Structure 1
Amino acid sequence: MAFWNLFVVALMPVLETLLVTLLGALMATERFNFLRGVEAKNCLNSLVFYVFTPALLIAELAKTITFDQLVEMWFMVVNILLTFIVGSVLGWMLNKMARTPKHLRGLVSGCCAAGNLGNLPIIIVPAVCKESDSPFGDTSTCSTYGEAYASISMGVSSLLTFSYLYILMESSVDRDTQNMNTIDATTSTTHFTTTPEIFPANVKEPLLPSTNFSSTDNLSIQHESPHDKNESKVSILNHITWPITKCFGYVKMEKLFTPITIAGIIGFTIGAVTPMQNLMVGDSAPLRVIINSASLVGEGAIVSMTLIVGANLLDGLKKSGISVSLIMGIMGVRFIISPILGILIVKVAHYWGFVGSYSLYQFVLMLQYALPPATAIGTIAQLLGIVESECSFIMIWTYTAATFSLTLWCTLFMWMLE
């Protein structure tokens, strides 16, 4: 197939996403004023988080996933974990090199770690399969497998995004708050200990000899210097595993088991347990109304999240506390370094026999490394009430760049696998 035909096939689903995003931006303008107010966006975010996305996960996973498919596509789960690990390491390096402000480090790490593995694959993969010039063979077979791949990608990424990423972004704010409280407490203690009542004016003899005081001061300095040096040398491994440690040690379980993670577990369970799937999925299933209703409700998830991204774009244009160099760094991680590493990982996995020869499967695995930051990051930012304008600013530029980069990478992937 000609390179130009592959380019057009890859461009169509990206343009569809861009058009819905522009519609969201239009709905947030003063003329229409549908998604302009904070309350309106918060309500839509809540619907996405508590209703639409859980329903979509349950319906798609229950319909498309079976136990045999989970066993067959085990490497996709590993691949999604690798995208988060690779992105976290690259995000840590970017924060160090760019000297990112503390309150933005969680956001930058999240944008580097979590790609849009939920919305875009479930739009791009079926759309590519439906194109007449698709390099992946028969349309019906491609669509069947493509939906299964996209559903697993959406399910696993949603579990990771709304657990690992939620904790990462929240904990960065918690640490800043604790640091501010420590500074305030230290200031108050210093002020308290230097009040005149502690050292009355009638005491004229020193409490301690000056030599002892000097040695004590020197001793304290000797103890503080190595401690400060150790604090400044935080390893990459500690930075990545810190949210996991916090998850098991300090975070309440209700923060880990969000509605989306619970829905993902339920969807995987229904799909993997054959009797439950036969009971709820299919035209003759006795309880098919449950999955059908969930599917009906879940159809609003992708459109709503894309509209929210578009509505937030206007806020990102107005104000932001994030530098252009940091935006360029995130783009370099998401659109250059990560896709190249993804190609190498998939090729090595195929060489070792972990990945089969089906070209569509390899295409989805590579695609997972080339996607822009997850739209769920904006949802988490608004739910936590933090770095919303900065997140919007990142989204507007990364998704504008993704129109070109994602199209080029999809074209290259299909050309390599043709």
Structure 2
Amino acid sequence: MKIIELFIAAWIPVLKMLIVTGVGSFIALPSIGVLTEEARKNINAVVYFVLNPSLVTNNLSSTFTLKSVASTWFMPINILLTFIIGSAFGWIFNKISNVPSNLRGLIIGCCASGNLGVMLHIVIPATCKESGRPFGNPDSCTSQALAYASLSMGIGDMIFWSYVYNAVRLSMGFEEEKMKIIQQESSSPMSIEEGTTTTRENDSVWFDTKDSFSTNGEIIQETSGTNFSEPSTNSKVQSLMKMTKSLSERPAVIALRRLFTPSIFGAIIGLTFGVVSPFRRALVGENAPLRSLQGALSLLGDGAVPATTLIMGGNLVKGMSKTTSPLSNIKISAIVGVVIVRFLLLPLTGVCIIKGAIHFGILHPDPLYHFVLLVQYALPPAMNMGVIYQLFGVGESECSVIFFWAYALTLLLFPLWSAFFMWLAI
């Protein structure tokens, strides 16, 4: 197959994604005011808690069986390798380019984590439907592609919050002592207004809140219903409550809560229903007694990708506004470094790893599976990086600028790699 046909087959899905992203950016402009920051947070809550888990559960339960799970054992290892190798490249870049200390964590995180959620759910299934597709029947290809993308999302979330979050936190120097200082500072300037406790902006994350995190770069906060500032008649009970609150705010406990995201639970439930035959017969199929449940999951999951893409476009508006002024807060070399790692060094490394695994018979002969494994090395930075920097209250503008340029270059660089990966896979 001609390389130009493969490039068109890879380029059209990316163009579709960026058009929807552009719509999200347009309606998020201050002059339009449709997708405001508050609206993005509210939609994010729905996507995070409802749509993404439904998407993952439906795709995995309807496609994966015990045999297919056994044949995809290499995918978690491959995703972990993308994180480790990317962070190693980011660390090397920090050393050779003398990046400021406040940006080192940002560089490492952007180099380590790729967009394993939205990009794969849009690009891979859409590639199956293009005229130049090399993966056979479009229906079976699309179904399998969605299953691979859902599995990637679940695994990527787990590795991100267990590995990237802590790597970035340590590289930024956000140790437990500094977190305690932030908590103490944030709890002092409080005001009571209509029965609601508020704190300084950006500091409220640390005071009496229950944090939930979206896969698209927004922090969702729910104010805790317990008010620890009120005096208690029982000193022992008050001490126990304070100790419980203190333990719940320890970095290790917070990181553990983030590790088990709704998408992770969706992946566990989906794989359970797909692998266990009685559960599968009850949920999947035209005669399944619970087929209405699967239909509902399918309807909810279908809304995850467009909603997520619109929000991603809205989040990039911050980077667009920063590019209109001189890049005083971030060096151009930092942007170039992230682009080189994510769109040159990592894809080349991925080709070596996957071709080596094929050569030694580690991977089963499935061109679509090989293509997905290769694509995981050529994705732009994960939007979850914005969550970390909103959490820490530093580096948000620099993160937005890097995201803007990385996703702008995705329109050209990602299709080139995708076409090359398809040529290798077939």
TM-score of the superposition, structure 2-length normalised? 0.76
d(CA) in 2 for partners of 1:33, 1:154: 31
Instruction: Spell out the pairing of 1:313-392 with structure 2 (5 A cutoff).
Output: 313-319=316-322, 321-382=329-390, 386-392=394-400
Which residue of 298, 303, 306 maps to 1:300? 303
Given that residues 84 and 113 in structure 1 are in contact (C-alpha distance below 8 angstroms), is that contact kept between their aligned partners in structure 2? yes
Measure, in 1, the Cα distance between the counterparts of 2:306 and 2:83.
25
1:415 corresponds in structure 2 to 423
Residue 239 of structure 2 is matched in structure 1 by: none
Q: 1:90 is matched with which residue?
A: 89
1:293-352 CA-to-partner distances (Å, cap 9, x unmatched) read 222222222222221221122211323632211111000100000000000000110011
2:28 counterpart residue number: 28
User: 1:249-289: CA deviations, max 9, x gaps?
Assistant: 66563233232322222222222222222222222222233
Query: 8 Å contact 1:20–1:303 — kept in the other structure?
Result: yes
Give the structure 1 partner of residue 201 of structure 2.
Answer: none
Stretch of structure 1 that moved more, 171-180 or 323-332: 171-180
CA displacement at 1:380 relative to structure 2? 4.9
> How far apart are residue 180 of structure 1 and its match?
9.1
Quick one: structure 1 residues 324 and 15, their matched pair in 2 at CA, closer, same or farther if it must change by over 3 Å?
same
State the 1:21 CA deviation: 0.8
CA deviation digits over 1:136-185, x for unaligned, max 9?
23333433433332232223223323443344455666716835988xx9
Whole-Å Cα distance in 1 between the matches of residues 320 and 175 of structure 2?
A: 26
Residues in 1 aligned to 2:331 and 2:50: alpha-carbon distance in whole angstroms: 35
| Residue of structure 2 equivalent to 1:11 | 11
CA-based RMSD of the aligned residues comes to 2.8
8 Å contact 1:305–1:375 — kept in the other structure?
Answer: no
CA contact (8 A) 1:162 1:260 kept: no
- 1:395 paired with 2:394, answer no
Which residue number in structure 2 is paired with residue 286 of structure 1? 289
Supply the AA of the counterpart residue of 1:29.
Answer: L
Q: How many residues align?
A: 355
Residue type at the aligned position of 1:59: N
1:230 corresponding residue in structure 2: none
Asked if the contact 1:335/1:370 (under 8 Å) is kept, the reply is: yes
Kept after mapping to 2: 8 A contact 1:117/1:157: yes
Structure 2: distance between partners of 1:290 and 1:48: 19
| Separation (CA, whole Å) in 1 of partners of 2:136 and 2:330 | 45
Letter in 1 for 2:68: Q
Secondary structure of the residue aligned to 1:373 is: coil
Cα deviation, residue 113, structure 1: 1.2
Displacement of 1:379 in angstroms is 4.6
Please tell me the residue identity of whatever aligns with 2:370: Q
For the Cα contact (< 8 Å) 1:110–1:169, is it kept in 2? yes
1:147 has 2:146 as partner: yes
Aligned to 1:164: 163
1:373-405 CA-partner distances (Å, limit 9, x unpaired): 123333554466553322221111001111111
Larger deviation, residues 333-342 vs 146-155: 146-155
Structure 1 stretch displaced more, 102-111 or 368-377: 102-111
Point out the more displaced range, 172-181 or 56-65: 172-181
The question of whether the paired residues in 2 share the 8 Å contact of 1:56 and 1:294 is answered with yes
Question: Over residues 170-206 of structure 1, what are the superposed CA-to-partner deviations in whole Å (9 max), with x where a residue is unaligned?
Answer: 5666716835988xx9xxxxxxxxxxxxxxxxxxxxx
1 CA distance for matches of 2:417 and 2:104? 28
Alignment partners' CA distance in 1, 2:165 and 2:179: 22
Q: Deviations over 1:107-142 (max 9, x none)?
A: 322211111122222222222211222122333343
277-286 or 167-176, larger mean C-alpha shift: 167-176
Q: What's 1:128 paired with?
A: 127
CA deviation digits over 1:205-247, x for unaligned, max 9? xxxxxxxxxxxxxxxxxxxxxxxxxxxxxxxxxxxxxxxxxx9
In structure 2, do the counterparts of structure 1 residues 73 and 34 end up closer, same or farther at CA, with 3 Å as the change threshold? same
- Mapped to 2, the partners of 1:9 and 1:141 lie a distance apart of 17
1:254 counterpart letter in structure 2: R
Paired residue type of 1:317 = M
In structure 2, runs of 5+ residues without a counterpart are 185-249
Work out whether residues 11 and 415 of structure 2, in 8 Å CA contact, stay in contact via their aligned partners in 1.
yes
Q: Distance in 2 between matches of 1:51 and 1:386?
A: 29
Change (3 A) 1:102 1:294: farther
Identity %: 42
For 2:110 and 2:384, the matched residues in 1 are separated by: 10
Given residue 124 of structure 1, which amino acid in structure 2 is its aligned partner? V
Conservation of the 8 A alpha-carbon contact between 2:114 and 2:379: yes
